[in-house]
Amino acid sequence: MGFYIRHSLGFFLQIAASGMLCFLPWDKEDYRFPKKRVLVGVGTLLFVLSVLFPCALLFSERQGILNLYVIGNLYMLCAIVLFCIFFCWVIREDAIKKMLVINLAVVYATVQFVVTNMAGSLISIELQHEIYPPRIFWLYLITTAVMFPVMVRVMRRTVKSYLREIEPKLMKKEFFCMLTLSLLCFGLMAFYDSVISSYMEDWVLWKILMPPFLFSLLVLVFFMGSLLQEAMRRMRHDLRHHLGILYEMAKEKRTGEMENYLAEVLNQTTQREAEWFCENMTVNGLLQYYISMAGEDNVACTVEAHCGEVTVSPVDMTVILGNALENAVHACESLGTNKWIRVTIGTVSGSLAILIENSCEGVHPAHREYRDNTFLPAKAFLSNRPGGGQGLVSITLTAQKYGGDVGFRYCEKEKTFTTRIRLNLHPDADISAEA
């Protein structure tokens, strides 16, 4: 019974935990079926595979260590292939993105394998005719407790942001080398564990060969992290470049040229509809950029946007929504904990309503106009940025072009700053009605 329980749990820690990581970077829209149903299905699949793993070992004709390791690794390989088929079926995304996620999970499992066996060699575990002898099982339990939470955070934060914004065409160029190296490393480790280690009389070869393997894996992990961060920096740089060009066009009142430029930039993206916050391309692009930026700083973001084509020009929308979101992200940067942003956008009775709430430790009030927990105009607040800032004023002046109104409120008790914007989408109709 001890053999059965230990090998079932050991398989789950080594294989199933890595499989669960693959489902973390996706939104519910990325699932072909309801997310809860998929997670229950994959959990059931991994549980069944874990329960059957020791049965496969016991079905071997003899309990020789060679036969045991070969059967064990063949079973793991079949389980991985079956899981990958299931994963690729239930996630409706670009194949290259799914390959990236699977590759990251494989690297995690390989690093855990190397660390566990290196630790086993240091404490001189005696070889047994088992894949998960007691001490190896406990080492897997310890390494999972240490490494798994870190990988969960990476998948939910960095990888998720990367997958939202990166274009599959760019991924093919950046990812091919990383995929090849990681699969080669994984293949060598599987061969070593299946064939070479079966002839060992002690842990000497682990002590000799595992440090170079671990060093190579750490270099690979560092390379992958640098690749993801560099891609994110490049995308942010490109967006700043586009916004700078649009700003210059707006200053020179080249409206037609500016709209054509923005349309060309937006058409170059290959984001799928399931990855969008809303159908309005300008609003969606701004939300993707600033929510991604907030996510990198561990700001919890909630977005509810229902906005199609509106009469607000892309330039004015960039000024209004871009400044409001930038202020929210900036306010959260100085906080240590409780960092959050809530964005609500929708059309109500011919108006576009924007409500942005964020955590905020304090504001710089203009003492004559400021009143706590009350919606106030831009002049009631002073900028805390070096040299001052015109963000709130720009939002107000742009909103007035659409017969709209803007209010800003800070609640000292709840430590919350709220930006409320209303833009009239049919100003000419209102004028006619009044006449």
Compare 336 and 406 and report the one with higher pLDDT: 406
Please indicate, yes or no, whether residues 302 and 218 belong to a single structural domain of this protein: no
In a domain, 70, yes or no: yes
Domain final residue, candidates 231, 266, 297 = 231
Domain final residue, candidates 231, 253, 287 = 231
- Please state, in angstroms and as integers, the Cα–Cα distance from residue 139 to each residue in 123, 152, 335, following that order: 11, 20, 37
User: Could you tell me what percentage of the chain is helix, strand and coil, using 3-state DSSP and rounding each to the nearest 5?
Assistant: 65, 10, 25
Place of tokens 């063949």: 74
The domain total for the chain is 2
Element (H, E) at 344: strand 340-348
Please indicate, yes or no, whether residues 281 and 164 belong to a single structural domain of this protein: no
The candidate with the shortest Cα–Cα distance to 68, out of 156, 130, 157, is 130
Please indicate, yes or no, whether residues 179 and 298 belong to a single structural domain of this protein: no
Q: Is the pLDDT of residue 344 over 90?
A: yes
Least confident interval from 128-137, 172-181, 302-311: 172-181
In a domain, 254, yes or no: no
Please indicate, yes or no, whether residues 182 and 104 belong to a single structural domain of this protein: yes
Per-residue pLDDT tens digits for 187-224: 666 666 555 555 554 455 555 566 666 666 666 666 56
Helices 35-58/2-11 angle, 10° precision: 140
Compare 246 and 432 and report the one with higher pLDDT: 246
Whole-prediction pTM value? 0.51
* CA-based R_g, the chain, Å: 28
Please indicate, yes or no, whether residues 72 and 151 belong to a single structural domain of this protein: yes
**Residue 347: strand pairing partners:** 352
Least confident interval from 15-19, 133-137, 161-165: 161-165
Please indicate, yes or no, whether residues 227 and 283 belong to a single structural domain of this protein: no
Please indicate, yes or no, whether residues 281 and 198 belong to a single structural domain of this protein: no
In a domain, 341, yes or no: yes
Structural domain including 390 reads: 276-434
Residue type, 22: C
- Please state, in angstroms and as integers, the Cα–Cα distance from residue 152 to each residue in 20, 27, 144, 160, 249, following that order: 9, 15, 11, 11, 43
- Please state, in angstroms and as integers, the Cα–Cα distance from residue 249 to each residue in 186, 244, 245, 260, 319, following that order: 52, 9, 6, 11, 13
Q: How far is CA 155 from the centre of its chain?
A: 6
The Cα–Cα gap between 371 and 381 comes to: 10
Please indicate, yes or no, whether residues 53 and 147 belong to a single structural domain of this protein: yes
Please indicate, yes or no, whether residues 107 and 42 belong to a single structural domain of this protein: yes
Place of tokens 């088929």: 85
Query: How many other β-carbons are positioned within 10 Å of the β-carbon of residue 115?
Result: 19
Q: Is the pLDDT of residue 352 over 70?
A: yes
**Nearest 10 degrees: Cα torsion 353, 241, 279, 316:** 30
In a domain, 164, yes or no: yes
Please indicate, yes or no, whether residues 53 and 197 belong to a single structural domain of this protein: yes
Place of tokens 């942001």: 161
Please indicate, yes or no, whether residues 297 and 372 belong to a single structural domain of this protein: yes
The answer for residues whose C-beta is within 8 angstroms of residue 234's C-beta and 6 or more apart is: none
**Residue 342: strand pairing partners:** 302, 357
Q: Read off the pLDDT band of 340 (50, 70, 90).
A: very high
Average pLDDT over residues 329-346: 88
The single-letter DSSP state of residue 159 is: I
Please indicate, yes or no, whether residues 172 and 26 belong to a single structural domain of this protein: yes
The answer for residues whose C-beta is within 8 angstroms of residue 235's C-beta and 6 or more apart is: 165, 166
Domain final residue, candidates 172, 201, 231 = 231
Average pLDDT over residues 387-403: 79
In a domain, 271, yes or no: no
